[in-house]
């Protein structure tokens, strides 16, 4: 099941955010993570964007968070940016994991058609499965590297 995140889900979302950070390039810094900060961040995201939970047998096992933002280079343009698409290891590659992405894309397409955004972004982390985004209409705009 895919569910729109609401205020009652903030503890769940902050826990999933912590797991996401622990499994990505931010893993070197998980000792410095403030769970209250993650909870406030999740609250802010659902105020200015969208978030969905992927739930299996009543247990949240994944999420996708996205925000609407002004383009830094052309401030008259705006986009929807996926910030986090995280699914627990045992549930990756499932239909539900894909449904999170489909929900994000369908929301973005509605915003695009309504003229509320000029485009939308998705991110591929170093741990992300290599799936073909270009066949889905995306084009590569940048790669982001971290040295710490």
pLDDT digits (tens, 9 = 90+) for 108-140: 999 999 999 998 877 755 445 555 555 565 556
What pTM value is reported for the model?
0.81
Whether 71 is in a domain gets the answer yes
Whether 46 is in a domain gets the answer yes
Number of domains in the chain: 1
Whether 8 is in a domain gets the answer yes
**CATH number of the domain where residue 87 is located:** 3.40.630.30
Long-range contacts for 106-112 (Cβ within 8 Å, ≥24 apart)?
A: 107/50, 107/66, 107/80, 108/66, 108/80, 111/68, 111/80
Domain that holds residue 10: 2-136
**pLDDT at residue 142 in the model:** 63
């Amino acid at each position: 099941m895919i569910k729109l995140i609401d205020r009652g889900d903030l503890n769940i979302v902050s826990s999933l955010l912590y797991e996401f950070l622990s499994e990505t390039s931010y893993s070197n810094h998980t000792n410095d993570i403030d769970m209250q900060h993650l909870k406030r961040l999740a609250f802010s995201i659902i105020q200015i964007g969208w978030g969905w939970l992927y739930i299996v047998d009543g247990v949240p096992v994944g999420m996708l968070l996205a925000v609407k933002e002004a383009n830094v280079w052309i401030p008259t343009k705006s986009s929807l940016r996926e910030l986090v698409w995280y699914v627990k290891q045992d549930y990756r590659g499932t239909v539900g994991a894909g449904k999170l992405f489909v929900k994000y894309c369908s929301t973005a397409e509605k915003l695009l058609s309504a003229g509320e955004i000029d485009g939308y972004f998705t991110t591929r982390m170093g741990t992300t499965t290599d799936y073909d985004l270009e066949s889905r209409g995306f084009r590569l705009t940048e790669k982001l590297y971290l040295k710490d």
